[in-house]
Amino acid sequence: MNLTVNSRLVIPSRELQWRFSRSSGPGGQNVNKTDSKVELIFHIEQSNVLSKFQKYILRELLKKHIVKDCIRVVAKDSRNQYQNRRLALFRLANLLRSTLKPPKKLRKQTKPSLASKKRRLDLKKQRSNKKKNRQVKPSLED
């Protein structure tokens, strides 16, 4: 089962390593009999699909997720091994997709125009006058 990260990146199943064990999640007595917990391991350095730059980005941005040049994803939410396998693939794809997404272009900063500055100051003056008019002024006739 190949892992499609995006339209340009598909990780073949031979680069993914699976491990199964007994889960402590839902399932009652079934939990003690079946290996429903799934660990999906992806070796970054051994991958033939990723470029050197992509490997570098993954190593830098996913430092907390990487142990011995491997990304490890665990799924034990379901009592069914097949569903946990699909969930682990989904989680790994989302992790890689969000990490390898190109950064947003920075907006070129511009100076505000004279007209916009004047509008802003005029609005400030109007607000100030409105608040001044609300104040009760003591009269000298008392």
Residue 52 in domain: yes
pTM above the 0.75 mark? no
Q: How many helices (H) and strands (E) does the chain have?
A: 3, 6
CATH of the domain at 65: 3.30.160.20
Residue 90 in domain: yes
Average pLDDT over residues 113-139: 92
Residue 140 in domain: no
Residue 26 in domain: yes
Which of 25-34, 77-86, 114-123 bottoms out in mean pLDDT, i.e. has the lowest? Answer: 25-34
The dihedral through the CA atoms of 41, 44, 45, 49 has a sign that is positive
pLDDT tens-digit series, residues 24-70: 756 667 666 778 889 999 998 888 988 999 889 988 888 888 888 88
**Range of 61's domain?**
3-100
Task: State how many domains the chain has.
Answer: 1
